[in-house]
Structure 1
Amino acid sequence: MSTKIDVPESSNADTREKAPLLPAPRQAGWRRGMAIMDFILRLGAVAAALGAAAAMGASDQTLPFFTQFFRFEASYDDFTTFRFFVIAMASVAGYLVLSLPFSVVTIVRPQAVGARLLLIILDIVFLTLAVSSGAAAAAIVYLAHNGNPETNWLAVCGQFTDFCQATSGAVVSSFVAVLLLDFLIIMSAFTFSKKH
């Protein structure tokens, strides 16, 4: 007497599963670490963008000329480019503050694809705004330092040293914010490109 056991055949598609690149706990830990780094970079970018807007907004300087009733004044709002810079960098800082809760969501739920995708799209939009305003302000700061002899624009930084230092510092701070936003986008794209 032979004993026979019937085992139903299962399809190869059901039994074969793709092995994850990393074990699930390690993969979640890696994603959580990247999300924490995202949060820290966002805080740094907030500080840089807010510092750029504040430094440019406080860049007024007045020079007395013979009498106290007749003065020369340099202010950021004398230049449309600098006004655009202040508004743009304040908007970038505001966006980065509002993006912090979404960054916290990616820390708590590392597999949250929607929040990560929203952040990467908005980061690109506000990076473009920060680059355009920083580059435009850098061109005006360059003219203030060096002038342009072909168009008879004189360098004013010899007289308005405080104004030029403040505007130069604001432009440098804006490019720090741009660099941090670049890192955020690259890191988010790298994390997003990994298999979920």
Structure 2
Amino acid sequence: MFRPTHALVALAALSTALVAEDFGPVVKAANLIYQGKIHYGVVCDYGRSRTQVADLERALPNGSVLTVVDVRHPMQVGAAGTTILQRGVELLALMPNDPLIRDGSPHATALVQRVNGTIPAFGTRPEALKNGCALALGQATNWELMINPKILDPELKGTIGPIEISPMQRGAGRGAATLDQVLRHR
């Protein structure tokens, strides 16, 4: 029996998946550039950005610490920056869709300037560089690592993650050779 509530639940789950942000690549890049830093921080309206914070938390490496400062009014941004500094945060993440402090917002710029020189910041959209972030990487950058030349060496390049090669199954596809066939022809 079809129930409309089941369709709504499925639609809600699908829409959540569509707005989920992939912080994995930018976190991996930040880890490679700023090796040894494991204390991450984020300033956001936690009630409205809870899903994004969860996405960021899933992307963090094992053993990392995440400090979240809940801010709901522009007048709280300065105090939030002070809290981030006092808590020993080593890397600051910007949420892409936070209503107040997001990639490109003037409040994000104020926060990044407040911790500038002490805590490197990163985002997932190109606008994060305008805020003073060191790097940006995500779907909005077409998965291209964008570097702020005022902070990092503009010649910084590299690849993220190992490439894994696994044997193909025999008869894996028309015209495709299996790894065994490639090795035999050498």
Give the structure-1-normalised TM-score. 0.26
- Who wins on radius of gyration, i.e. which is larger? 1
Give the structure-2-normalised TM-score. 0.27
Higher strand share: 2
User: Which structure carries more relative contact order (alpha carbon 8 Å, separation 6+)?
Assistant: 1
